[in-house]
């Protein structure tokens, strides 16, 4: 009888867990469509950037990407950026993981980036546009846009698909590159690289998958003398040239790192220093490389687990409640059958 009473208590506790988890999930769906101060985020941030100074002679901006399932590492990066001489920041995509509940993750991400002292704009990665980009559009606005600051022209693309960009965006890009010729510096941002930085070729999972599409874009960038292409998607740091156009891949903002090479895989952001005379790029490390694959695995696993338990506690609680309820019912039925 004591065992049956114990199992009944477990059933009661399980039901409470299920109720709390379910109410929290339902509340999040009701609350999400109207988050405070987040509609059309990029438009608001661009206006803030453009209002800082009409024609600055010297400024610095930060570029980073792939923070998708990070709390501690990404927030450490934010603290370092806040203590640096940064005018604004650009996140090159994979803002969230988007595997369980993207709405909760967007809310959490927005609360993270509100800690930045200076404006920040974002572009979509594949984790934002997989299936649908509706939530991203609701919060951040257009999938691609441009703005100017000083003698620099900034072009952000929806480069979140391995197939490349569509004809409408391609025509828009041609027009934007024409406009950019009046400016000394032309910076371009897209999530997925043109090529795998290790091989220089298109490869599924690492770059745009169609060689012809990549070459077409590459030729366009070469012809218009793009100063630098910034991408992410590849969880590390790489730099070089695609034909005549230099590139930097910066995917070290907090997501699981892709390897242990000390030259490429560490947490970081890129500090771009712009002046009338030139532009230079600093790699600012916010975490050191890992010495072996085991420690890298532990780091990746613990950071992801911490993220999911903190951001998706209601789903975890609901799941645990259902599991415990099933276990309790099964145990009660078994005991009564004796």
State percent of the chain over pLDDT 70: 79
pLDDT (tens digit per residue) in 270-292: 999 999 999 999 999 998 888 88
Among 87-91, 135-139, 299-303, 329-333, the minimum mean pLDDT is found in: 329-333
Closest to 278 in 3D by CA, of 228, 220, 224, 240: 228
Summarised one tens digit per residue, pLDDT across range 201-236 is 999 889 999 999 999 999 999 999 999 999 999 999
Residue 27 has pLDDT above 80, yes or no: no
CA distances from 301 to 242, 304, 307, 308 (A): 34, 5, 10, 11
Between β-strands 268-274 and 59-64, what pairing exists: parallel, antiparallel or unpaired? antiparallel
Query: Would you state the pLDDT for residue 335?
Result: 44
Label residue 323 by pLDDT band (50, 70, 90).
Answer: low
State the pLDDT at residue 40.
86
Residue 1 pLDDT exceeds 60: no
- Asked if 262 and 270 count as a contact pair (C-beta separation under 8 A), the reply is no
Strands 145-149 vs 120-122: parallel, antiparallel or unpaired: unpaired
| Span of 7-16, 28-37, 177-186, 253-262 with lowest mean pLDDT | 28-37
Task: Look at residue 313 in the predicted model and tell me its pLDDT.
Answer: 56
How does DSSP classify residue 267? -
Place of tokens 């203590």: 83
- Helix (H) or strand (E) holding 104, with range, is helix 102-113
Q: Is the pLDDT of residue 138 over 90?
A: no
Say yes or no to pLDDT of 7 above 90.
no
Q: State the average pLDDT for the chain.
A: 86
pLDDT tens track for 171-197 = 999 999 999 999 999 999 999 999 999
Segment 42-71, tens digit of pLDDT: 999 999 999 887 668 899 999 999 999 899
| Confidence band of 326 (pLDDT split at 50, 70, 90) | low
Instruction: Give the residue, 61 or 312, on which the prediction is more confident.
Output: 61
Q: Rounded to an integer, what distance in angstroms lies between the CA atom of residue 122 and that of residue 57?
A: 24
Whether the pLDDT of residue 329 is over 70: the answer is: no
* Pick from 194, 205, 123, 120: nearest CA to 157: 123
| pLDDT bracket for residue 328 (50, 70, 90) | low
Residue-level pLDDT at 179: 97
DSSP assignment letter at 263: T
User: Looking at the predicted structure, is the pLDDT value of residue 337 above 50?
Assistant: no
* Residue 190: per-residue pLDDT: 98
pLDDT of residue 145: 97
**Among 279, 261, 257, 258, which Cα is nearest to 270's?**
279
Non-local (6+) Cβ contacts of 156 within 8 A are 90, 121, 123, 144, 145, 146, 188, 189, 190
Q: Who contacts 14 (Cβ-Cβ below 8 Å, separation ≥6)? A: 321, 322, 324, 325, 328
Helix (H) or strand (E) holding 302: helix 293-311
Q: Does residue 167 surpass a pLDDT of 60? A: yes
The beta strand positions in 251-291, using DSSP E, are 268-274, 279-285
Task: Name the CATH topology of 40-289.
Answer: Purple Acid Phosphatase; chain A, domain 2 (3.60.21)
pLDDT digits (tens, 9 = 90+) for 240-266: 999 999 999 999 999 999 999 999 999
Q: What is the structure's pLDDT at 338?
A: 45
């Amino acid at each position: 009888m004591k065992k049956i009473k114990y199992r009944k208590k477990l059933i009661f506790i399980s039901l409470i867990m299920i109720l709390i988890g379910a109410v929290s999930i339902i509340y999040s769906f009701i609350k999400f469509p109207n988050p405070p101060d987040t509609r059309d985020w990029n438009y608001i941030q661009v206006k803030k950037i453009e209002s800082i100074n009409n024609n600055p002679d010297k400024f610095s901006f930060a570029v980073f990407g792939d923070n998708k399932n990070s709390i501690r590492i990404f927030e450490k990066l934010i603290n370092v950026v806040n203590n640096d001489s940064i005018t604004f920041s650009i996140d090159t995509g994979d803002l969230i993981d988007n595997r369980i509940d993207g709405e909760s993750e967007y809310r959490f991400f927005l609360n993270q980036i509100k800690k930045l002292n200076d404006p920040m704009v974002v572009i979509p990665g594949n984790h934002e546009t997989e299936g649908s980009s509706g939530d991203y559009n609701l919060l951040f606005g257009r999938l691609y846009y441009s703005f100017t600051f000083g003698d620099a022209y900034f072009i952000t693309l929806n480069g979140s698909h391995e197939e490349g960009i569509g004809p409408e965006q391609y025509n828009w890009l041609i027009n934007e590159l024409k406009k950019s010729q009046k400016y000394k510096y032309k910076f371009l941002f897209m999530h997925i690289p043109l090529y795998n930085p290790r091989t220089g070729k298109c490869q599924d999972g690492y770059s745009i998958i169609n060689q012809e599409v990549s070459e077409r874009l590459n030729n366009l960038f070469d012809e218009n003398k793009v100063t630098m292409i910034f991408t992410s998607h590849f969880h590390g740091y790489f730099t070089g040239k695609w034909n005549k156009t230099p590139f930097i891949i910066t995917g070290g903002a907090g997501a699981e790192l892709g390897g242990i090479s000390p030259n490429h895989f560490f947490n970081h952001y890129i500090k771009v220093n712009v002046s009338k005379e030139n532009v230079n790029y600093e790699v600012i490390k916010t975490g050191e490389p890992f010495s072996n694959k085991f420690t890298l695995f532990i780091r990746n696993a613990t950071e992801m687990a911490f993220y999911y338990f903190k951001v998706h506690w209601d789903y975890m609680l609901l799941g645990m409640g259902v599991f415990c309820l099933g276990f309790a019912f099964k145990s009660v039925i078994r005991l009564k059958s004796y």
